[in-house]
Amino acid sequence: MTNDSLDRRADALARHSYYEASVARPTHDDPMLDSTLEADVCVIGAGFAGLSVALECRARGLSVVVLDAHRPGWGASGRNGGQMIAGFAKDEELERQLGTEGARAAWALSEDGVTLVRERIERYGIDCDFTQGYLTVATRDKRVPDLRAWMDAASTRWGYQHLSWLERDAIRTRIASERYLAGVYDARSGHLHPLKYCLGLAAAARAEGAQLFAHSPVVSVERGARPVVRTPKGEVRCRFVVTCGNATLEGVLPRSIEARIAPIASYIIATEPLGKARADALIAQREAICDNNFFLDYFRLSADHRVLFGGRASSSGASADQLSGDIRARMLMVFPQLADVKTDYAWGGFVDVTRNRTPDFGAIDPNFYYVQGFSGHGVALTGIAGRVVASAIAGERGAFDLFAQLRHARFPGGPAMRRPALAIGMFYHRVRELLAA
């Protein structure tokens, strides 16, 4: 069952999405489930994670039904910043819980996730504007040592060998801005058009024999040796259930599991097209860029030469129109030379975050799996999540059990209290950042 209030806010946030305006969806949506089906695996959610589960299960010869309350790419998979990056939102927490060797193994899997995105783009001919290169940058003197320490840990302790350090002058040859003091270049990561990629995964899943159903919200799951997943007009009788609904899924998993994530709204604006020469002058090598502040800004160039600039996390789900002026002001802090450029689109969506910002993969029964809590790293990590779940279903549990070791605290209160508590926590971190400026 989806959270209707959250769905309405999410619908409103997507109303002026550049991504939706720049794709050609199939002429007809996938059908609504209106009968009883039998399948090996029923997947709940047709975003990156759910479609990856479907593809990986089909590769293992399992029959698959995918249910979505809306249609493929409706949620975070079709709205996000498009940054396809290795690693995790809070690597030091991963190492604290798993130890250095466990963190190294998790990092290797995250790198596999980056490779998997590239492989799927090539295998299925997904035209999603993939561009190589990613920059993490520091805006404050106090953040430069933090950035250097993270790069050294990733390179030496976690085994990621694709990073290089850039001093201030080198950053300015890549980004036409005075704002950044240092940076780390990641040659393996990159960025893409997330909705084009998600629709490509959906087409691939159909071609591989998975059955996709749209406008089919799950109203209940009857657990047991043969689970039954029910929608308003149909049901799926299966051997395994995998939930991948993340921020907009409520009432399917136990409250104790749902309380481990909270929906954070994030917002993006897209400028009018700048033309190739002007766009290239801003970001010479067209990398995706993100700063290392707690409330971060992220930006990149689109294939049609717009600046896509995002950030301004909010627990309230304010409208994109309300925050577009704020985001534009932040863009002009980076690129004051864009003062004459119009904003064509402003949109947003909900990201599912855990309190410790590490992913939450688990099972509530031996045949009932869930993946959630990607915390802003979902473009690549969802792909590997699908692989580790499908492998676990097939009896190969090593990678799944590695992630399942991670312990997660609940957000305080029930659903009604989660957002106010989150707002207080976010306000605390905003004050800390202001004091550190």
Encode pLDDT of 10-46 as tens digits.
676 777 899 999 999 988 999 999 999 999 999 999 9
pLDDT at 311: 85
Encode pLDDT of 195-212 as tens digits.
999 999 999 999 999 999
Specify the length of the chain in residues: 437
What is the rounded end-to-end Cα distance, in angstroms, of the chain?
43
Task: Please report, as a single letter, which amino acid is at residue 146.
Answer: D
Residue 428, C-beta contacts closer than 8 angstroms, at least 6 positions apart:
none
pLDDT at 306: 98
Question: Beta 235-243 vs 368-372: how paired, if at all?
Answer: parallel
Question: Residue 189: which of 84, 89, 339, 308 has the closest Cα?
Answer: 84
In order of 176, 298, 317, the CA distances from 305 in angstroms are 15, 16, 28
B/e letters for 72-110, b = 16+ CB within 10 Å, e = fewer, are bbbbbbbbbbbbbbbbbbebebbbebbeeebbebbbbbb
pLDDT at 129 over 80: yes
CA distance 292 to 90: 11
pLDDT band at 219 (very low <50, low <70, confident <90, very high): very high
CA distance 245 to 317: 18
pLDDT at 429 over 90: no
Kindly report the average pLDDT of the chain as a whole number: 91
For 293, phi then psi, to 5°, come to -75, 165
pLDDT at 418 over 90: no
pLDDT at 318: 63
Question: Residue 104: which of 125, 129, 87 has the closest Cα?
Answer: 87
Tell me which long-range contacts 388-392 makes (C-beta under 8 A, separation of at least 24): 388/109, 388/361, 389/53, 389/56, 389/242, 389/361, 390/53, 390/56, 390/57, 390/59, 390/60, 390/62, 391/56, 392/363
pLDDT at 4 over 70: no
Contact 239, 65 (CB under 8 A): no
Instruction: Return the percentage of the chain with pLDDT > 90, whole number.
Output: 81
pLDDT mean over 329-340: 97
pLDDT at 9: 62
CA distance 66 to 285: 38
Q: Report pTM.
A: 0.93
pLDDT mean over 118-127: 98
Domains of the chain: residue spans and CATH: 4-80+195-260+356-414 (3.50.50.60)
pLDDT at 49 over 90: yes
pLDDT at 220: 95
- Give the three-class secondary structure for 281: helix
Choice between 6 and 199, residue whose per-residue pLDDT is larger? 199
B/e letters for 262-286, b = 16+ CB within 10 Å, e = fewer, are bbbbbbbbbbeebeeeebeebbeeb
CA distance 350 to 348: 7
CA distance 274 to 267: 21
CA distance 279 to 283: 7
Mean pLDDT lowest among 221-235, 289-303, 420-434? 420-434
pLDDT at 156 over 90: yes
pLDDT mean over 343-352: 91
Half-sphere exposure of 31 (CA within 13 A, CB side): 8
pLDDT at 247 over 80: no
CA distance 276 to 278: 6
Question: Beta 182-191 vs 131-138: how paired, if at all?
Answer: antiparallel
pLDDT at 2 over 80: no
CA distance 65 to 138: 44
